[in-house]
Amino acid sequence: MTLLLTRSDLEALLDPAACLAALRRGFTAEADGTAAHRTIARLPGQGTATALLPGVVDGIPAYTVKVNAKFPGSRPALRGVVCLHDLGTGELLAQLDSATVTAWRTGLAAALGTHALARPEAGAVAVIGAGAQAELVMRGLGELREVSALTVCDLDAGRAAAFAERHGARLGVPAGVAADPRDAVRDAGIVVMATWARRPILHAADVARGTHLTSLGADEPGKAELGADLLEAARVVVDDVPLAVEMGVLAGAGLDVKHAAGTLRDLLRGQVPGRVRNGEVTVYAPVGLPWQDLALSWTAYRAARAAGAGTEFDFLA
């Protein structure tokens, strides 16, 4: 029997602390040499189809295959499924809502990267793009460090205000909105960006010394949130160097492998340093990797089985 897990099932089952722990274990696990594939195909009009496979993590007896449709003008903009298979037999253990899995694994992995690279005393956060991924970054950061203030900027002013009010109340900190991204980041020690931007939003002159920026929007060809001048001057950490050069933050800025200081896996395993100087600008810019889907999906699947949640379905009936 295959377990079907909807968005509401997953939101009820997933816990940020447990998911952060699962992702940290994945980042620090030994790489098994399995070649992961990320395929993006453009569709007529505004949409793209994306597949990530296989998601494999040492110690988890399963793997994932994720298929997404991305349509920026739709709500939600991402739809699809994550298929969780038994590693030994290929049995389809579960199908999970991809939008929820993607938001949780992307946002919480970004929270790990943000916390690892930002100055320890940095507490003022600016969010550019108040969507589902930024939502989970903020929930993750609240588990990892003290947040002292929040400023939110979004093309939808109402959504920015709602985000600021929600997270300001949850964290017990002053929160407000800014109409311009440059105003939003002026006093921030941490900047979280999660947009659909096709042109850089911020340049080197827009951020203060010692700022950390996490850029989630440059995850496929043609997308860019940070200017090349900012990236050239910053210490840049990614989740996969070849993908960053092929379709991620470095590709969007016309930069190459020498501009990457390393990966978050390298950093969390102690193989490369994170922030070297207190005054330097740091950037974490992931594209998202298949094993992160597995880490979240396996956590959700085990929680669902323990709770008797989800709907069983027999595809072979």
- pTM, to two decimals: 0.96
Distance of CA 83 to the CA centre of its chain: 19
Percent of the chain with pLDDT over 70: 100
| CA–CA distance, 230 with 205 (Å, rounded to integer) | 8
Identify the band that residue 45 occupies on the pLDDT scale cut at 50, 70 and 90. confident
Tokens of 151: 């400023």
Whether residue 212 is predicted with pLDDT greater than 90 in this model: the reply is yes
The whole-number pLDDT of residue 31 equals 83
The domains found in the chain, sorted by start residue, are 2-102+290-313 (3.30.1780.10), 119-285 (3.40.50.720)
